[in-house]
């Protein structure tokens, strides 16, 4: 990874999104608004910084690093599968949006989901 490749890709994407490097630094959560400009002088960004910039620009880290010309990773291949019924059995406490679902409500939720699934077939 060279700082020049990273800088060029960051600059190119920022320009496409009408963002100055200063604005992008702020959007990426950096304390210094001139953080990204230092990459032009050869300062190598940390992994955390590259991830933050990639997130702010909506591109993959691999794209910024020059590992690929694809701006977006193929998330379809990375899908994880979780069976809600198994999760409800495995965990003593189940939450939604940070709030605990009362244990007596779990069978009701299960019946609702079964009804939704049965209606589809």
How many contiguous H segments (helices) and E segments (strands) does the chain have? Answer: 6, 2
What is the structure's pLDDT at 11?
Answer: 94
Q: What pLDDT digit, counting tens, does each position of 67-103 carry? A: 888 777 655 555 567 777 787 777 778 888 888 889 8
Quick one: pLDDT at residue 44? 87
Q: Are 60 and 54 in contact (CB under 8 A)?
A: yes
Distance CA(86)–CA(113), nearest Å, equals 14
Report the mean per-residue pLDDT for the chain.
84
Q: Do 3 and 20 contact (CB within 8 A), yes or no?
A: no
Query: The pTM is what?
Result: 0.58
Among 11-15, 71-75, 91-95, 114-118, where is mean pLDDT lowest?
71-75
């Amino acid at each position: 990874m060279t700082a020049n490749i990273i800088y060029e890709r960051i600059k190119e994407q920022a320009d496409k999104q009408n963002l100055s490097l200063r604005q992008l630094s702020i959007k990426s959560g950096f304390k210094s608004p001139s953080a990204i400009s230092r990459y032009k002088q050869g300062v190598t960004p940390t992994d955390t910084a590259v991830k933050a910039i990639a997130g702010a620009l909506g591109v993959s880290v691999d794209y910024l690093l020059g590992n690929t010309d694809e701006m977006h990773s193929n998330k379809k291949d990375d899908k994880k599968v979780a069976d809600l019924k198994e999760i409800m059995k495995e965990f003593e406490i189940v939450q939604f949006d940070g709030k605990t679902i009362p244990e007596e409500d779990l069978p009701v939720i299960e019946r609702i989901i079964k009804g939704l699934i049965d209606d589809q077939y």
